[in-house]
Structure 1
């Protein structure tokens, strides 16, 4: 299972590293791929989406679960 997040506020590689590290620290996360250009993160595992968002917010960015069309 994976969760896709829309993340805003990232401007550089350091931001990507910080968000990736924060997401990987959430219990249940197996892997996290963060893309600066698209502003998206794909998180593999069984983590609670609200915990993922909280981890990103604690790093100073905003996040929401990507709404599929």
Structure 2
């Protein structure tokens, strides 16, 4: 059964990654750019895509600690 990738979310990314991504943008396919999300400042923007109930406590979620989930 094929799987369709809806988004790639990177959290706690250093701020210069936005600039690096802008440099790489002309060489990347538009389909990849459309699903690529960088969350630099906080993970609050991530909660628009992933419910808090699915994220570990260390990232502001409610699913328990990473050690408990692992």
- In the superposition, the TM-score normalised over structure 1's length comes to 0.28
- In the superposition, the TM-score normalised over structure 2's length comes to 0.28
Larger radius of gyration: 2
Q: Which structure exhibits the higher relative contact order, with contacts defined as CA atoms closer than 8 Å and separated by 6 or more residues?
A: 1
Which has the larger helix fraction? 2
Which has the larger strand fraction? 1
